[in-house]
Amino acid sequence: MWFQRVSLLSCLVLLSACANAKGPWVELGGHRYQVEIADDDAERARGLMFRDQMDADAGMLFIHDRQERQAYWMKNTHIPLDILYFDNDRKLVSQQRDVPPCSAGDGCPAYPSNAPARYVLELNAGQAAALKLEDGASITFGDGIEAPPVQ
């Protein structure tokens, strides 16, 4: 009988842990964000297009094959964003804050990094200001986020 209770309790603990696992995350400025990963050309091209909202503690992490100057645009993006650029060492090297949505298709402006970047994190507009982010801030990747080797 006690074995059945222990087994049941073990199963409940495992189910609870699985329910609380929300997938990949990053930590920035002492705050954790659940992120979607865009690590190939198709995912990076689509990004957050056609989304009408994003949870406050969510974002999208773009992983590029190499560190170089990056430029992002808001084509078909319906929510304002902060676009944060990080180098190979995962240090913040450039910020584009409060970037507005754009419905002008190919006429949407680009928002470039001011320095070479390897990783780009898009968060809801206002998050960078709320975290008081300054260039040089570090981003931490949670388990399950794999970056290709530095090229």
CATH code, domain carrying 62: 2.60.120.1140
Q: What 3-state class would DSSP assign to 140? A: strand
For residue 21, what pLDDT is reported?
A: 54
pTM: 0.84
Cβ proximity of 50 and 75 under 8 Å: no
Domain containing 82 equals: 23-141
In a domain? residue 92: yes
Reading phi first (left if > 0) and then psi (alpha if -120 to 50, else beta), residue 58 is in beta
Full pLDDT tens readout for the chain, 151 residues: 544 544 443 443 343 344 345 799 999 999 999 999 999 999 999 999 999 999 999 999 999 999 999 999 999 999 999 999 999 999 999 999 999 999 898 999 999 999 999 999 999 999 999 999 999 999 999 988 987 777 6
In a domain? residue 150: no
For residue 149, what pLDDT is reported?
A: 73
Please state, as a whole number, how many other Cβ atoms lie within 10 Å of the Cβ of residue 40. Answer: 10
Neighbouring residues of 4: CB distance < 8 A, sequence distance ≥ 6: none
In a domain? residue 151: no
For residue 150, what pLDDT is reported?
A: 72
Identity of residue 139: I
In a domain? residue 4: no
